[in-house]
């Protein structure tokens, strides 16, 4: 499927929700959360009513509305109701600070705010000071929906109109409003969810990654809706115990996680037995998945984890291992519908086997970064999007992750990938997690430094780990310093924040 298969006049909510009614799924469960469930027919009704309510408040096409909400059925109702009405929802991380939220509301000029009651204290100190913010709504929305008009014509949007925004994590600066168009959710679902995962209406989906992330938005909204599947939502933080409860209780067929969560799950004594699970496929993204985690998970469950990489800018996974074509320690091959290339620092092609920056060409790229023309022009270069990720490609076409462009270390004049060292450390039986950064020695030369979290009840010394790495890596690569920690700083998606360790 490509862009031309989607007509010019197109509304993403009308397609993803109401297409299921046309397919005869009105009575099928669409979402299950901690409070209950709703069918596709009930979802369509709530989406219409919520969109009608927003219009009744005076919001109009292309106005923006910020969503800071926990994962309940109200989340897709609000997101899709806004889209059907032509209003642009902005999904934001629920773990941020008041300063972050004030910036996002001011930067986006949102006229309305949807905020879960437990999150309201993060907004209360400044909400009244924002002159453009006119409406504040808090779920649950049952009373609002009951009074609203159940009839709502889809806004006259096109496939290229702004549909929704996602703010980047802002780990290296102020967060960037990434603007996506109406066609992108359907295209990512067709190319990756259906094309790679074989997602169908018989599947039950569960994602530890939340809806406000690009990864979670596909996993729990656009993918299952495009296929007519059912989705389990969880409002609480994805601890291993909380995840196990849903895996055993609902028996989802598809589970989406991140490497740090998979590692924590494997280290937990509460891991369910094979007979308690209904999984057919697991997916990992966010960071490179160490081979040892993949192998251990397969031994424990009989299920493979497909490692892939996506981005906020590309909306979801564009490079992935796939069923029947999986190679441990790699990120797989290009998802059909996307083109990839590796370039050097001057933008030229790298030689086979050499490290280069990954560029992506595909139909789900964002339009731009809001209010950031310079960054837009440097990231979205013609039809290509710069990922900032370093990769090599092996002789069989598999891509091997080499770290972020700004995380790479040059040791003795040679590039060293922190990801390679981290994967080697995690393969040690006592290591749960590891992060590697550059650190200056007495000569102001950069060498690798590792921060290591040990598994509960396990022990290891610095010398033991250094000797372990020397046995499998080139001598110049081993970490000159190893510091043990109880935990590593991470973003809400589970990505290790190496910049905090460099300080």
**Quick check: is 62 in a domain?**
yes
Q: What is the three-class DSSP state of 355?
A: coil
The domain total for the chain is 2
Provide CB contacts within 8 A for 487, sequence distance 6+.
Answer: 453
* pLDDT the model gives residue 172: 46
pLDDT of residue 354: 94
Eight-state DSSP code of residue 344? -
Q: Report yes or no: 233 and 31 within 8 Å, Cβ to Cβ.
A: yes
Of 181, 203, 230, the residue at which a domain comes to its end is 181
Candidates 395, 393, 409; CA nearest to 479 is 409
Q: Is residue 365 part of a domain?
A: no
For 72, the domain range is 41-181
Radius of gyration over alpha carbons of the chain, in Å?
23
CB 123 within 8 A of CB 138: no
What percent of the chain clears pLDDT 70, i.e. is strictly above it?
A: 98
Residue 413: what pLDDT? 65
Residue 230 · residue 28 · CB < 8 Å: yes
> Is position 132 within any domain?
yes
Picking from 333, 360, 355, 353, the residue whose alpha carbon sits closest to that of residue 344 is: 355
B/e letters for 308-343, b = 16+ CB within 10 Å, e = fewer, are: bbbbbbbbbbbbbbbeeebbbbbbbbbbebbebebe
CATH number of the domain that residue 45 is part of: 3.40.50.980
Euclidean distance between CA atoms 47 and 41, whole angstroms: 10
Alpha-carbon distance values, 359 to 174, 339, 356, 495 (Å) = 23, 8, 9, 21
- pLDDT tens digit sequence for 217-254: 999 999 999 999 999 999 999 999 999 999 999 999 99
Which of 161, 181, 201 lies at the terminal end of a domain, its last residue?
Answer: 181
Whether residue 167 is contained in a domain is answered as yes
Domain presence at residue 474: yes
Packing angle between helix 40-56 and helix 12-22, nearest 10 degrees?
A: 150
458: CATH: 3.30.300.30
Q: Which of 115, 150, 181 is the last residue of a domain?
A: 181
Which pLDDT does position 96 carry in this prediction? 86
The answer as to whether 85 is a domain residue is yes
Q: State the pTM of this model.
A: 0.89
Classify strands 333-334 and 317-320 as parallel, antiparallel or unpaired: antiparallel
Q: What is the pLDDT of residue 307?
A: 97
pLDDT in tens, the chain (503 residues): 676 789 999 999 999 999 999 999 999 999 999 999 999 999 999 999 999 999 999 999 999 999 999 999 999 999 999 999 999 999 999 988 898 899 999 999 999 999 999 999 999 999 999 999 999 999 999 999 999 999 999 999 999 999 999 998 643 457 899 999 999 999 999 999 999 999 999 999 999 999 999 999 999 999 999 999 999 999 999 999 999 999 999 999 999 999 889 999 999 999 999 999 999 999 999 888 989 999 999 999 999 999 999 999 999 999 999 999 999 999 999 999 999 999 998 999 999 999 999 999 999 999 999 999 999 999 999 999 999 999 999 999 999 998 877 778 878 667 788 888 999 999 999 999 999 999 988 877 789 999 999 999 999 999 999 999 998 887 788 999 999 999 999 887 788 888 899 87
Structural domain contains residue 396: no
Structural domain contains residue 61: yes
In which region does residue 371 sit, left (phi positive, over 0), alpha (psi from -120 to 50) or beta (all else)? Answer: left
Q: What is the pLDDT of residue 449?
A: 97
Q: How distant, in Å, are the alpha carbons of 22, 429, 476 from that of 74?
A: 23, 43, 53
């Amino acid at each position: 499927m490509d862009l031309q298969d989607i007509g010019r006049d197109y509304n993403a909510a009308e397609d993803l929700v109401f297409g299921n009614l046309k397919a005869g799924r009105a009575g099928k469960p669409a979402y299950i959360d901690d409070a209950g469930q709703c069918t596709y027919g009930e979802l369509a009704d709530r989406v219409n009513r919520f969109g009608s309510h927003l219009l009744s408040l005076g919001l109009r096409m292309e106005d923006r509305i910020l969503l800071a909400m926990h994962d309940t059925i109200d989340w897709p109702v609000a997101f899709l109701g806004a889209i059907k009405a032509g209003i642009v929802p902005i999904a934001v991380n629920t773990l941020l600070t008041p300063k972050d939220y004030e910036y996002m509301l001011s930067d986006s000029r949102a006229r309305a705010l949807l905020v879960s009651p437990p999150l309201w204290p993060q907004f209360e100190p400044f909400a009244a000071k924002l002159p453009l913010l006119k409406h504040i709504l808090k779920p649950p929305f049952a009373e609002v929906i009951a009074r609203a008009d159940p009839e709502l014509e889809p806004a006259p949007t096109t496939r290229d109109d702004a549909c929704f925004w996602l703010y980047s994590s802002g780990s290296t600066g102020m967060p960037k409003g990434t603007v996506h168009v109406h066609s992108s959710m359907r295209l990512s679902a067709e190319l990756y969810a259906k094309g790679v995962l074989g997602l169908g209406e018989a599947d039950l989906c569960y994602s530890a990654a939340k809806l406000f992330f690009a990864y979670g938005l596909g996993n729990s909204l656009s993918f299952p809706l495009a296929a007519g599947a059912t989705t389990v939502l969880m409002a609480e933080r994805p601890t291993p115990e909380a995840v196990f409860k849903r895996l055993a209780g609902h028996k989802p067929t598809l589970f989406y996680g991140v490497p740090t969560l998979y590692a924590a799950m494997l280290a937990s004594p509460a891991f369910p037995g094979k007979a308690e699970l209904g999984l057919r496929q697991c997916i990992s993204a966010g960071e490179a998945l160490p081979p040892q985690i993949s192998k251990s998970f397969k031994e424990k469950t009989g299920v493979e984890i497909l490692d892939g990489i996506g981005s906020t800018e590309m909306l979801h996974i564009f490079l992935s291992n796939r069923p029947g074509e999986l190679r441990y320690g790699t990120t797989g091959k290009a998802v059909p519908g996307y083109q990839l290339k590796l370039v050097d620092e001057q933008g030229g092609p790298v030689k086979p086997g050499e490290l280069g920056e990954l560029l992506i060409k595909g139909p789900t790229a964002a339009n731009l970064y809001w209010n950031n023309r310079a960054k837009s022009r440097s990231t979205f270069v013609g039809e290509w999007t710069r990922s900032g990720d370093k990769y090599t490609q092996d002789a069989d076409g598999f891509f091997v992750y080499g770290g972020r462009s700004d995380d790479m270390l040059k040791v003795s004049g040679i590039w060293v990938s922190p990801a390679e060292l981290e994967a080697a450390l995690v393969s040690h039986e006592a290591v749960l997690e590891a992060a590697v950064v550059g650190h200056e020695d007495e000569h102001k030369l950069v060498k690798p430094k590792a921060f290591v979290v040990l598994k509960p009840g396990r022990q290891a010394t610095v010398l033991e780990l250094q000797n372990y790495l020397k046995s499998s890596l080139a001598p110049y690569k081993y970490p000159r310093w190893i510091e043990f920690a109880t935990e590593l700083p991470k973003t809400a998606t589970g990505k290790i924040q190496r910049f905090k360790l460099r300080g």
